[in-house]
Structure 1
Amino acid sequence: MSGLARFSFNQATAKHWPLAEVVAGCVDAGVPGVGLWREPVQEYGLARAAKLVRDAGLSVTSLCRGGFFTTDGWRDENRRAIEEAATLGTSVLVLVSGGLPAGSRDLDGARRMVADAVADLAPEAAAAGVTLAIEPLHPMFCSDRCVVATLGQALDIAERFDPGTVGVVVDTYHLWWDDAVYHQIDRAGSRIAAFQVADWITPLPEGVLLGRGLPGDGCVDLRRFRQAVDAAGYHGPIEVEVFNAEVWARPGPEILAAAIAAHRDHVL
């Protein structure tokens, strides 16, 4: 199929579709890559999942997620995540930094914790051939999920390291609102490790975590984002990653077909 050379289907877009069926569906549709999540991979079995995607000829474009550096036990958990990414054959481990520590109001201190944690993990990631990809999330998630809220903040951390070791994620759902985002994409250049697309639905459904729409269902100029990352030198996979209960209620093959059509019509 034309237009699929860079397309990747993030399995979160079809949350209830079993991993083996996701892989088979992507192969049948001519999709070259998948973005995976640690929990369903662990449920399926890491070695078994790695063999599944490898035998199917699919590339794993990212593994989500590491991070949550402001919580106890982050170091061991992230070391495991690096190992899992390497086993799956992906060079991109998406990091969601974590929110404020319990009872804290020290936002600057929390961001320093994130930078220190990335520095701690960078040598192990480099040795494993895995890029730590810092994903900024929309500011509404700052208190509980991600104190890194802009692409500029993510780059302030990433630029301390080699681009192959620490990069950034450009996610349209989280960054579309920022009037500096296109300047920051240009600044990011070779540090763009992943590009994820989803639309912003108006009004948001109840529960903002599930407010992502398929490309074309909302108000984001997704093609402008794609053109901007292209101009910055990123020509890697484009993952469609959507969290939406109404989308999840549809059959997996139908979701995949809709994501492919949306990618062609609103991203390319």
Structure 2
Amino acid sequence: MSADLAGLSINVATIRQGETFGAMVDACLKHGITAIAPWREYVTDLPEAARIVRENGLRVTGHCRGGFFPAADEAGRRAAIEENRRAVDEAQALGADCLVLVVGGLPPGSRDLPGARQMVADGMAELLPYARQAKVPLAIEPLHPSYAADRACINTLKQSLDLCDALGDGVGVAIDVYHCWWDPELEAQIMRAGREGRILAHHICDWLVPTTDILNDRGMMGDGVIDLKAFRRMIEAAGFHGAQEVEIFSNRWRARPVDEVLRTCVERFRTAC
């Protein structure tokens, strides 16, 4: 492995055309990449995935994903807690640095955004003792405001950090450039996150102009308008020197061979980040 690639992680969403967890790991190892972030649907055999991680000396920079706490009734909220406990168990078995939380949006039929945010806070408060016991930090990932209704009603670093402060130890943030680059408070909130020891993960990609699909048209680093080098300087000035995790949901990149995607990720990590 090249020394400079120690700071590169691949979120398997970037190479999901690789189909199986083992195949995706093999592809990463071929390119000298030894840090990954699995998604739960690709960990179909947890003991086998844990064996692959362990025997290849992989670092798991995050496990995706927990969250989706809001629900229309108590039964739905209870089911969400139980599902999140299973996600914590998986993250623990894989030795993940954190469990990434996409917290959830409005319950079906609801227009009560403050109520949804309260459900998130309540759900995390209930999950947190279980996660602390498992020694799995919970990483709130604030999502772009366009996702407030359906995926995440927590949309800024400030909101995320305020919630972290209310909950206490064992929680932090996953800072994804795609979701946060536009925030006028970005630098101040990154520095705050660093002072509070809350930065658990850093995800990278790029914002294309135009973006034709808010979910599946993320850009490869260097192809869009985000100043990734400046973003990285802010993250490192705040004290986070962990891996940069490439997470690219993209129909165009999904149509390309995994080797081509990973080769480009390595090149852009070296030149654009």
Aligned residues: 263
| Structure 2 residue 91 is the aligned partner of structure 1 residue 85 | yes
Q: Give the corresponding residue for 2:29.
A: 27
Residues 32-60 of structure 1 deviation map (CA, whole Å, 9 limit, x = unaligned): 20011000112xx1111110121111111
Q: Which runs of 5+ in 2 are unaligned?
A: none
| Structure 2 residue 45 is the aligned partner of structure 1 residue 38 | no
| Structure 2 residue 200 is the aligned partner of structure 1 residue 193 | yes
Give the CA deviation at 1:87.
Answer: 0.5
Q: For the Cα contact (< 8 Å) 2:142–2:160, is it kept in 1? A: yes
| Structure 2 residue 116 is the aligned partner of structure 1 residue 105 | no
Q: For the Cα contact (< 8 Å) 1:198–1:213, is it kept in 2? A: yes
Q: Equivalents in 2 of 1:161, 1:30: separation in Å?
A: 38
Q: Equivalents in 2 of 1:15, 1:223: separation in Å?
A: 26
Q: Give the corresponding residue for 1:148.
A: 154
Q: Give the corresponding residue for 1:69.
A: 69
Quick one: which amino acid aligns to residue 7 of structure 1? Answer: L
Q: Equivalents in 1 of 2:51, 2:259: separation in Å?
A: 22
Q: Give the corresponding residue for 1:59.
A: 59
Q: For the Cα contact (< 8 Å) 1:6–1:32, is it kept in 2? A: no
Higher mean C-alpha displacement, 131-140 vs 2-11: 2-11
Q: Equivalents in 1 of 2:141, 2:86: separation in Å?
A: 19
Residues 206-251 of structure 1 deviation map (CA, whole Å, 9 limit, x = unaligned): x310121110010001111111111111111110100001101111
Q: For the Cα contact (< 8 Å) 2:7–2:244, is it kept in 1? A: yes
Q: For the Cα contact (< 8 Å) 2:148–2:154, is it kept in 1? A: yes
Residues 10-40 of structure 1 deviation map (CA, whole Å, 9 limit, x = unaligned): 1100111132122112222221200110001
Q: 1:139 aligns with which of 122, 145, 154?
A: 145
Residues 61-117 of structure 1 deviation map (CA, whole Å, 9 limit, x = unaligned): 110000000132211100000000001111310000101111111111111111111
Q: For the Cα contact (< 8 Å) 1:186–1:231, is it kept in 2? A: yes
Give the CA deviation at 1:204.
Answer: 1.0
Q: Equivalents in 2 of 1:136, 1:155: separation in Å?
A: 10
Q: Equivalents in 2 of 1:191, 1:250: separation in Å?
A: 36
Q: Equivalents in 2 of 1:102, 1:181: separation in Å?
A: 31
Relative to the length of structure 1, the TM-score reads 0.95
Quick one: which amino acid aligns to residue 53 of structure 2? Answer: V
Q: Which runs of 5+ in 1 are unaligned?
A: none
Q: Give the corresponding residue for 1:255.
A: 261
Q: For the Cα contact (< 8 Å) 1:111–1:148, is it kept in 2? A: yes
Quick one: which amino acid aligns to residue 87 of structure 2? Answer: A
| Structure 2 residue 173 is the aligned partner of structure 1 residue 168 | yes
Sequence identity (%):
47
Runs of 4+ in 1 over 3 A off after TM superposition: none
Q: Equivalents in 1 of 2:260, 2:51: separation in Å?
A: 26
